[in-house]
Chains A and B, each alone.
Chain A
Amino acid sequence: MLGRLLCAGLMFVSLPLAAAQDEVKEWLDKMAAAEQYLNYEGTFIYTNGPQVETMQIVHGFDKHGERERMSSLTGDVREIIRDDQHLVSVLPVRKKVLIESRGKQLSSPAKLLEGLEQSGAYYEYSLKGTERIAGHNCQILSIYPKDNFRYGYRLCIEMETGILLKSLTQDHAGQTHEQMMFTSISMPEFIETDQFHSVMHKDDFELKQSPDTLGVKISAKPDRRWVIDELPPGFRITEEAMRYIASSKKPVQHIIIDDGLASLSVFIAPPQKEEQVVEGIFRSGGLNANTRLIADHAVTVIGEVPVKTVRLIAESIRYEQ
């Protein structure tokens, strides 16, 4: 009898929570689909700590697939362009252009929902009313981290289309580490192809292209002697692969760790010739990184998680001789 009462009580408590969580998932699903499949162009403000930047985005999906150009309008000019197969970074200050291949492992809406199922124990999902951003009404979603190993998010998703209009990255204590907010946005039916062409590159820029974007197949296998002794609660290794990157002739070992929502990458690369490794802990808004030299390899842990998390993982990595 007591068991039945307890079960009934638990159902009474959990049903509304489950319903709220389902609703949040629907919004996130809508957001992920909108980001991938809709045409939109607009201007937004990005704050990263005390840094404020204005940026522009043009995104399209048509018979050519998904295409996007994002560029900075203030400060250091930078631009990224991507299609279904390439991500091109144009870095005028360094007169450099990088061409990387695109991955699809985690960026589909279906994968997002899978991840949410896994992450439920570590985040609280809730709806928080509506707001008006850039002339559009949007639904506020709160994703609150239950511990300080991960960040939470406060999102505002456009009611009709699902486009993300505003995003705050916050830690467990509620401190905001970065914000993005559209100041103007439109959803045109058609976007001209030239809108996706680089406007920043110059003839004297140095080009670096990942070999796999040129059709070079990778033959190296991940070295299993690399071991991660400890992961924060809820995190697990989801993929381990060798990848080509534009800024290195040799492939790097890439280990992906995630908790269903937050993700980290571990990159393991041998130093190039007598290159010194820039060791340390690095931050850019909601992104933290820790680079260490381990067994003569440059090991970089990078992810949208607190410093504590990247540091814990970086210090847990070792090479079994």
Chain B
Amino acid sequence: MTTQVTTKERLSALFDDELTEFENRRLTSELLTNAEHKMQWLRYQMIGDVMRGGLGSQVDTGFTDRVMQTIHAEETYSTPVEKINKPRPWVKPVAGLAMAASVAAVSIFALQFMTQSGTNTAVNVANTSEVSTPAGIQQVAVQKQGEVLAELPKAPATDNSLVRQVNTADIQPLGEIQNIPLSDPRMDSYLATHAEYASRPGMLSRVRIVGYGSPDKEER
């Protein structure tokens, strides 16, 4: 393990042009013979490409996927998983949508969830128009001191009271640590409210809001 960390540090130094010529030759030789180190070097190169490439359109959208494949291939990172196996006969825990075993069940779930959400939206939009929507504008806007912060789409008002149902095929045993369920409509609000009301200063609390919802995380 120590050797591996040292090699990573040396790779990083090589990437930053911080190695002496001798160290450079030695590490290059190792890279040519060690597949794992070669992968690591590739990974640093990709990160470097992003750093040098600037923002927006210059970022290779396949970058993260390739890094992920590389990391999975290496399998050097391991997170200890703590498990609980407390039986709860009085409730059946439900897996996230991404874990759904039945495509049909997911479709029904999604449809019903969207239609139920429409009921909430109808109330919100009605209230919004009293508070901040400028006359004539087709979108709802968040306003402060007369300035539009972000124009937001106006959702259609519906009067549908279908309730949300969950197929038992989605049920999985309680105990494993999972990724935060994107299917839980409250979780986004909880993350934001926790970041705003409970977290100490530090942009990390908001980074987590932006960073937790990647599709591949949901699928794993």
Contact = CB atoms under 8 A, between A and B. Distances in A.
Interface stretch (B30-38, B71-79, B100-108): B71-79
A91 interface: yes
Given A203-B139, A206-B155, A245-B193, A93 B213 contact: yes
B9 to A, nearest CB: 13
A20 interface: no
B151 A201 contact: yes
Contact of B123 (A54, A91, A213, A249): A249
A25 interface: no
Nearest to A308: B82
Contacts of B26: none
A208 interface: yes
A71 interface: yes
Interface in B68-120: 68, 71-72, 77, 79-80, 82, 84, 88, 91-96, 114, 116-118, 120
Interface string A194-218: 0011100111111111110111100
Nearest to A300: B190
Contacts of B174: 279-280
Contacts of B127: 209, 211, 214, 216
Interface residues of A, number: 133
Interface in A68-109: 68, 70-76, 78-91, 93-94, 96-103, 105-109
B214 A53 contact: yes
B186 A105 contact: no
B25 interface: no
Interface stretch (A9-17, A227-235, A253-261): A253-261
A139 interface: no
B165 interface: yes
B201 A53 contact: no
Interface residues of B, number: 102
B51 interface: yes
Interface in B170-196: 174-196
A258 B198 contact: yes
A50 B166 contact: no
Given A68-B206, A112-B201, A115-B200, 15 more contacts: A46-B207, A51-B217, A65-B144, A70-B207, A75-B216, A88-B142, A175-B80, A206-B114, A207-B152, A207-B154, A261-B200, A265-B198, A278-B94, A280-B178, A307-B177
19 contacts: A45-B47, A52-B68, A64-B145, A78-B213, A81-B150, A82-B206, A100-B196, A107-B196, A178-B204, A214-B127, A256-B197, A273-B116, A275-B163, A280-B181, A284-B211, A285-B208, A287-B191, A289-B180, A304-B199
Interface of B: 47, 50-51, 55-56, 59, 61, 63-64, 67-68, 71-72, 77, 79-80, 82, 84, 88, 91-96, 114, 116-118, 120-121, 123-125, 127-128, 130-132, 138-140, 142, 144-145, 147-155, 163-166, 174-217
Interface of A: 31-32, 35-36, 43, 45-46, 48-57, 64-65, 67-68, 70-76, 78-91, 93-94, 96-103, 105-109, 111-112, 115, 164, 167, 169, 175, 177-178, 180, 183-184, 193, 196-198, 201-211, 213-216, 239, 243, 245-249, 252, 254, 256, 258, 261, 263-265, 267, 269, 272-289, 291, 293, 298, 300, 302-304, 307-308, 311
